[in-house]
Structure 1
Amino acid sequence: MRILGIIDIGSNSMRLVIVQLTDDNSYRIIDDVKHSVRLGKDILPNGNLHPIRMQRAIETLQFYKTLCDAIQTDQIIVVATEAIRKAANQKEFLELVYSLTGLAVRVLEGEEEAYYDYFSVANVFAMSENLIMDIGGASTELIWMKDRKVRNMASLPFGTISISEQLNQAAGNIYEKEKTVTNSLIHTFHQLGWLPHGKTLIGIGGSFRNIAKIDKKRCAYPLELSHNYYLPGERLQDIHQLIMTTPAGRRKDIRGLSSERADIIWGATTAINALLMYCGISDIYISGYGLREGIIYEEILHDLNPVEDVLDYSINNLMSNIDLNKKHAFHVWQLSRSLFEQLGSVHELNASTVNVLKTAALLHDSGISISYYDHHLHSFYIILNSQINGLSQQELLMAAYTAASHRKNKVKIDPAHKGLLREQEINTIRKLGVILRIAESLDRRMNDNISAVDCLIEQEVVTLKLTSKSTHELEAKETMEISAAFLKEFGRRLHII
């Protein structure tokens, strides 16, 4: 096991993430700190970083170094992006940082920054192709990912700070300013010559996450999750219009908008909206991960190939972090999957639902890490709040409810979640919950006594034929206690032999 500190010196903000890496390729974030330094703002006419902002950056680095020392990190990786990349006094700043903090800063080339963005997305999204946009304070990275590999990428020398400055300096009213800057952005996009049309956009960075917060407030979204939040293109355009038409001094009053970004958010939405128009994009997903996580995955996956299955890796990572009984969890999943597949004609659920069942089955006992008592409720919280990747937010919520129902006949859906879960999804949760309860009962001894189950489906009865290592009266009795719920959800009586 080793503890790694990763510091990202961005043009807008500086961030430290401290991560614990283990020998089984799992990891756990143990601290995450962010400061808005705006190193890319107030650049002097000769191209030098502003002395006051340099001083703030150094003070922030000293604080981060102290924190890393207190936690006893084994290694500190410090990377810097566009603001330092193009600073005329880059060498002077880096030497000053080293002399005052002992930290050696690696200045990333634009394509290196883009690559880390790609590697992060490839390991946390279960998509084979998309367009990735990371808009920072002074640069914007664009990556076309196809078959989970980089097809093309570019780093463009503009970001939220510089675009906002262009908008403020452009002549005319707000619409004329926006048109001038948008045309310039589209011209730059066109010059790349490779941007795909009609692909899903993955948005990286604080601006995207803040736009998602605004959207959540506008539509009363019930979850606080940022990763994999779905934002339709037309809602992004609505937010862009809201920001553009709100006077600069009043933008901080927009619900969900961080006061730290109020003066640069127009630049962000202008760039994103221009890309949507040029590439014909209608679907946006927000990433809760970025450059730092790309570095983390590089440290874990030394061959630089993405994880084979995003969901499987994410679940296994969580199981390792909470010291779950993996043997029992995997056997319950094996039995659940067998029941799901054999009962297809009875439950009539979409095949893709199996990933919801997988997540619930493998993590149904995760709440024991908090307390055994009411652990099904604790499992709900853990599944929903542990950054499990590879599921949509709706699927994640369904998995949490399914796991929570493994000890009760019926799970109560929070009224706040009714907007995300229609009657169809609620019925799916109840059916999956019954399947999970049966699988859990069949491994009640936690010793794999029931090695297999065969389902005989008749018009009014489903018979489960159990293959066991020893007598299975206990498991059969436990399972028959679920017969009433089985009859209600599947319309057939349950029989066990």
Structure 2
Amino acid sequence: MRTIGIIDIGSNSMRLVIVQISTNNSYRIIDDVKHSVRLGKDMLPNGNLHPIRMQRAIETLQFYKTLCDAIKTDSIIVVATEAIRKASNQKEFLELIYNSTGLSVRVLEGEEEAYYDYFSIANSFNMTENLIMDIGGSSTELIWMKDRKVQRMVSLPFGTISISEQLNEAKGNIFAREKTITNKLIQTYHELGWLPHGKALIGIGGSFRNIAKINKKRSFYPLEMSHNYYLSSENVQDIHRLVTNTPAHRRKDIRGLSSERSDIIWGATTAINALIMYCGISDVYVSGHGLREGVIFEEILHGLNPVKDVLDYSINNLISNINLNKNHAFHVWELCKSLFEQLKSLHELEESTLRILKTAALLHDIGINISYYDHHLHSFYIILNSQINGLSQQEVLMAAYTAASHRKDKVKIDSVHKGILQEKEIDTIHKLGVMLRISEALDRQMNKNITAVDCLIEEDRVTLKLTSTSQHELESKEALDTSGEFQKEFGKRLFVL
């Protein structure tokens, strides 16, 4: 087990994440701290970092070093991006950091920063081709990912702070200023010559997460998680218009907008809106991961290739960090998969729902870590709040409800979630829940006694023929307890032999 501190010195904020990495390459975050230092703001005419900003950065790094020492980290990795990268007094500042804290800072080149962004996305999103945008305080990284590999990437020397300063300094009314800067941004994007058109955009950074929060408040979205949150391009453009039309001194009153970003959000939405227009983007996804997670995955994977299956890795990582009967969990999943395949003509569910069932089956008992009693309800909460990668937020919610169904006939869908789950999704949850409950019943002794299930589908009934290593009366009875729900969801009576 290694405990590593990773410090990201950004142009707008500084962040420390402390991660424990096990010998089996699983990991867990044990602390995460962020401070808004604005190192890239108020740069001096000679290109030097401002002394007050530097002093704030030193004080923050001393705090982070003390925290890492208290937790007894084995090592501390410190990386810096555009503000230090372009500073005329970079060498002097790095020496000051070392003399004040003992920390050595690695200043990333623009493409190195972009690569870490890519690596975090490739290991946390189940997408094969998309455009990635990381807009920081003083730089913006763009990465074109295809077949989960980098096709092209670039780091551009502008970000939320610098664009906001240009918008505030430009002449004319706010709409003329915004149009002038937007045209310059579009020209910059055009000159790259390789940006893909019509692809989904994945956004990295606090500005994207803040845009997501604003949209959640506007739409009364009930889930708190930010990773893989979806917005249409129209949602983003509506928020950009809201920010543009709101006087600077009133932007802090926009619901969902962090007060520390109220003075730079205009620069962020302007750059994002320009990219959406130029690339013809329709779909935008917000990442909860970024550069720091890219560094973590580099430490774990020791190479250039991302994990083979994002969902599998995410589930296995979660299982490795908790107390769970793995043999039972994986056997229940095998039984679920068998039922899903054999009952296709009855459930008529899309193949993609198998990933929801897999998540629910493998994690259905995770709630026991809180309490055995009502553990199916605890499983719901843990699955919903464990940031499972490779599923959409809707699919994570469906997996949580499916897992909660393994000990009850039917779990009531909370009214706050009915804006996310329509009738089709609720029907899917009920059908998957019945299959999970049967499968869990067939391994009730947790000894893999039932080795196979054959489904005989007849006109008015479905018969489950069990193959077992010994007598299976208990398992048969447990499975038959689902007969009422089975008939309701699948339209046939259930028998077990």
Structure 2 length-normalised TM: 1.00
Aligned equivalents of 2:303 and 2:241: distance in 1?
44
Structure 2: distance between partners of 1:98 and 1:351? 54
Q: How does 1:196-215 map to 2 (within 5 A)?
A: 196-215=196-215
Give CA-to-partner distance per residue, 1:113-143, whole Å, 9 cap, x none. 0000000000000000000000000000000
CA distance in 1 between partners of 2:39 and 2:272 (Å) = 22
Q: Which residue number corresponds to residue 225 of structure 2?
A: 225
Residue 267 of structure 1 is matched in structure 2 by: 267
Structural mapping, 1:250-399, within 5 Å: 250-399=250-399
SS in 2 for 1:124: coil
Deviations 1:280-330 (A, max 9, x none): 001000000000000000000012210000000000000111121111000
* Matching residue of 1:477: 477
Is 2:224 the partner of 1:241? no
In structure 2, C-alpha distance between the alignment counterparts of 1:478 and 1:404, rounded to whole Å: 17
Q: Which residue of 2 aligns with 1:155?
A: 155
Aligned counterparts of 1:104 and 1:274: Cα–Cα separation in 2: 37
Aligned to 2:452: 452
Q: Which residue of 2 aligns with 1:135?
A: 135
CA deviations on 1:360-399 (whole Å, 9 max, x unpaired) are: 0000000011111110000000100001000011011000
Cross-structure match for 1:53: 53
Looking at structure 2, the residues matched to 303 and 248 of structure 1 have their Cα atoms a distance apart, in angstroms, of 46
Write out aligned runs for 1:34-183 (5 A): 34-183=34-183
- 2: CA distance between counterparts of 1:61 and 1:371? 40
Q: Give the RMSD, CA atoms, in angstroms.
A: 0.5
TM-score of the pair, normalised by structure 1:
1.00
Q: Share of identical aligned residues, percent?
A: 79
Q: Who is 1:188 aligned against?
A: 188
- CA separation in 2, counterparts of 1:132 and 1:424? 31
SS of 2:123 mapped into structure 1: helix
C-alpha displacement of 1:351: 1.2
1:25 correspondence with 2:31? no
- Counterpart-to-counterpart distance in 1, 2:241 and 2:125: 29
Q: Deviations over 1:166-185 (max 9, x none)?
A: 00011100110001101111
Query: What is the match of residue 435 of structure 2?
Result: 435
Runs of 4+ in 1 over 6 A off after TM superposition: none
Amino acid at match of 1:170: A
130-139 vs 473-482, which moves further: 473-482
**Distance across 2 between alignment mates of 1:195 and 1:171:** 30
Cα distance in 2 for residues equivalent to 1:303 and 1:60 = 31
Aligned AA (2:419) = G
Q: Which amino acid aligns with 1:17?
A: V
The letter of the residue matching 2:133 is: M
Q: How far apart are residue 337 of structure 1 and its match? A: 0.4
SS in 2 for 1:231: strand
SS at match of 1:225: coil
SS of 2:239 mapped into structure 1: helix
CA distance, structure 2, for counterparts of residue 403 and residue 306 of structure 1: 28
Aligned AA (1:487)? Q
Question: 1:199-227 CA deviation, whole Å, 9 max, x = no partner?
Answer: 00000000000000000000110100100
- Aligned residue pairs total 497
Letter in 1 for 2:17: V
